[in-house]
Amino acid sequence: MNYADSARIRAVLTNCWFQYVDNFFDADIVVFDTCSVRQKSEDKITWKLKEIWKTKKIWITWCMIQHNLRSSKLTSEISNSGMKVWNFLGSVKSNDPEIIGLTTDEVNKFNFRSGSTYCFINNAFNPLFFNLKKKRKNIELFFRIDDTWLLPLMLEKVWYRISYDKEIINEYSEIIPEWINTSMNNHRKTAYIPISTGCNQFCSYCIVPYARWFEKHLSIEHILQEAKKYLESGIEEIVLIGQIVNKHPGFVNIIKELLKLKWLRWLRYTSPYPSYYSDELLALHENEEKLCPHIHIPLQSGSDDILKKMARWYSSHQAYEFINKIKSSSRKISITTDIIIWFSGETEDDFQKSMDLVDYWKFDMVYMWIYSPRPWTLAYRKYEDDISYKLKHIRRKRMNELLKTISLGNNKLEIGNIRKAIIDSKNEELYYGYTDNMKQITIRRKNSNINIWDFISVEITNGEAFRLNGGSL
């Protein structure tokens, strides 16, 4: 999601005549598009800030600043002030809001007019800005990602003299990045297209609803327009993204419409929620070659007690039925999952249920997360993080060993199959990439005409844990 958002920020700044530089050392301004899913992500930002020379300006946006806006001090200041605070809760609707809030003093002295719309920035209310700014004077701007489209107005407020094409400033959900590389891969054939932002699910451990706030769905027309633009520019793989991507009310239609588009080779999506999969979507996976044969089902735990504590609204039995349907498909579909193994109160029995789930279904990959208590969440308020660091790591090791054996077994079964792969990188003898069923692959070079970014057919010659080996055809 952050790659797609950064692309939108870049689009707006380019429209203001800022120039993007590939090399961090050449930049005058560094924009941090932050994530708060785990404490580690926030620590990384704090640590990274120390690396930025004082001569460079720093701007910060997204989750880290947004969940800090929820402080109780802030809430009481707002409720006492009688101010209009649209941009704490959703997009500013006016094209011409007053940009306010560089300092708390400024806000206190500001004469708010009834009927006007205000977009608040920086340390007026944000305790994080206030604290960080004390240590790093070069932090210049804090803004909500939903307000990206108002950046030109904010920049004028912080003394930049800029010119921009007013016609192409749009609401966040309407911005279409101008270039094709929204990819986190080395190649430039993949575009990540957001179809929704925010989340209303409130899983008890998750900060997303507090940091990214409520769900908003982008229109099908906009999504198709963005996809067409990328495909015309050379993109061949599209990844639809959203906090619960398959909850978009038009999700199946979006897939069907995209599959009709010329130039599209591969279509993927992430991250889904188990209960929002439909039989219609599974049928598309079974019958449509371009819809990649890979399904991710973030189950998080195999224990019903823990699922309940996590406020995940499905049972292990429902998960079983669903995976059974995928396994019954006539097309071989690889299945991956997420597991939080160390949620508070997880007993040995609960953990064993997760191990049994992974072992029974032989997932192709399990993304394991160490539980990290996040502010505002129900789990943070209600449950103690009572599993010792040592035990967390012992359990992770056990799950990892199981996964390694499963991955080796699954990948051995691939030997002799012909798979499509996209090339990511290469050296004198080998190509590296990933397959349509989302497995890393190393390919021995038979044909020297293959380039990075090519889609090629590969015969699988060997399977290792977490990697396939093959030869180009």
Q: Which of 154, 206, 211, 335 binds ligand SF4 (CB under 6 A)?
A: 206
In angstroms, what is the minimal distance from the CB of 330 to ligand SF4?
30
Under rule CB under 6 A, residue 208 binds ligand SF4: yes
Distance between CA atoms of residues 357 and 361, nearest Å: 6
Q: End-to-end distance of the chain based on CA atoms, in angstroms?
A: 35
Question: Which residue reads 């449509």 in tokens?
Answer: 288
DSSP 5-28: HHHHHHHHHHHTT----SSGGG-S
Interaction between residue 202 and ligand SF4 (CB under 6 A):
yes
Of 86-94, 194-202, 316-324, 340-348, which segment contacts ligand SF4 by CB under 6 A?
A: 194-202
Q: Which of the stretches 105-113, 185-193, 195-203, 458-466 binds ligand SF4 when contact is defined by CB under 6 A?
A: 195-203
Q: Which residues contact 148 (CB under 8 A, 6 or more apart)?
A: 5, 8, 9, 12, 61, 172, 175
Q: In terms of CB distance, is 378 or 415 closer to ligand SF4?
A: 378
Backbone φ, ψ for residue 182 (5° rounding): -105, 25
| Binding region for ligand SF4 (CB under 6 A) out of 45-53, 146-154, 201-209, 401-409 | 201-209
Q: Which residues contact 408 (CB under 8 A, 6 or more apart)?
A: 463, 464, 465
Q: Which stretch binds ligand SF4 (CB under 6 A): 40-48, 76-84, 198-206, 415-423?
A: 198-206
Minimum gap (Å) between residue 205 Cβ and ligand SF4: 7
Q: Is residue 66 near ligand SF4 by the rule CB under 6 A? A: no
Asked if 194 interacts with ligand SF4 (CB under 6 A), we say no
Tokens of 37: 């899913």
Shortest distance in whole angstroms from residue 271 CB to ligand SF4: 7
Compute the distance between CA of residue 339 and CA of residue 83 in angstroms, rounded to an integer.
Answer: 43
CA-based R_g, the chain, Å = 24
Q: Which of 437, 463, 459, 442 minimizes the C-alpha distance to 332?
A: 437
Cβ-based nearer residue to ligand SF4, 203 or 235: 203
- Which run of H or E residues covers position 412? helix 389-412
Out of 7, 141, 199, 264, which residue is the one contacting ligand SF4 (CB under 6 A)?
Answer: 199
Candidates 222, 272, 213; CA nearest to 248 is 272
Report, in Å, the least distance between residue 146 CB and ligand SF4: 17
CB of 238 to ligand SF4, least distance (A): 21
HSE-CB at 454 with a 13 A cutoff on CA atoms is: 14
Shortest approach of ligand SF4 to residue 276 CB, angstroms? 10
Q: Between 269 and 273, whose beta carbon lies closer to ligand SF4?
A: 273
Interaction mask 228-247, ligand SF4, x per CB under 6 A: ---------------xx---
Residue type, 102: L
Range in contact with ligand SF4 (rule: CB under 6 A) among 104-112, 138-146, 196-204, 400-408 = 196-204
- Pick from 92, 180, 203, 368: which binds ligand SF4 (CB under 6 A)? 203
Question: Residue 319 interacts with ligand SF4 (CB under 6 A)?
Answer: no
Q: Which range binds ligand SF4 by CB under 6 A, 47-55, 137-145, 199-207, 419-427?
A: 199-207
- Do the beta carbons of residue 327 and residue 298 sit within 8 Å? no
Q: Which is nearer to ligand SF4, 63 or 107 (CB)?
A: 63
Q: Is the peptide bond before 425 cis (omega within 30 degrees of 0)?
A: no
Longest dimension (CA), the chain: 73
Minimum Å distance from CB 243 to ligand SF4?
Answer: 4
> How many amino acids of this chain bind ligand SF4 (CB under 6 A)?
10
Q: Does 201 bind ligand SF4 (CB under 6 A)?
A: yes
Residue 209 makes contact with ligand SF4 by CB under 6 A: yes
Rule CB under 6 A: is residue 63 a binding residue for ligand SF4? no
State how beta strands 418-426 and 430-435 pair: antiparallel
Write out the two tokens for 56.
């460079």
Q: Considering the complex, what minimum distance in angstroms separates the CB of residue 403 from ligand SF4? A: 21
What is the nearest approach in angstroms of ligand SF4 to the Cβ of residue 66? 14
**Exposed, middle or buried: residue 210 (CB in 10 Å: 0-12, 13-18, 19+)?**
buried
What SS3 state is found at 209?
helix
Query: What's at 78, amino acid-wise?
Result: I
What's the gap between Cα 305 and its chain centre? 28
Q: Compare residues 62 and 86 and give the one whose CB is closer to ligand SF4.
A: 62
Is residue 312 within 8 Å of 300, Cβ to Cβ?
Answer: yes
Q: Does residue 273 belong to the site contacting ligand SF4 (CB under 6 A)?
A: yes
> Could you tell me the smallest distance in angstroms from the CB atom of residue 319 to ligand SF4?
15
Given the complex with ligand SF4, which of 227 and 340 has the nearer CB atom?
Answer: 340
By the criterion CB under 6 A, which residues form the site for ligand SF4?
Answer: 199, 201-203, 206, 208-209, 243-244, 273
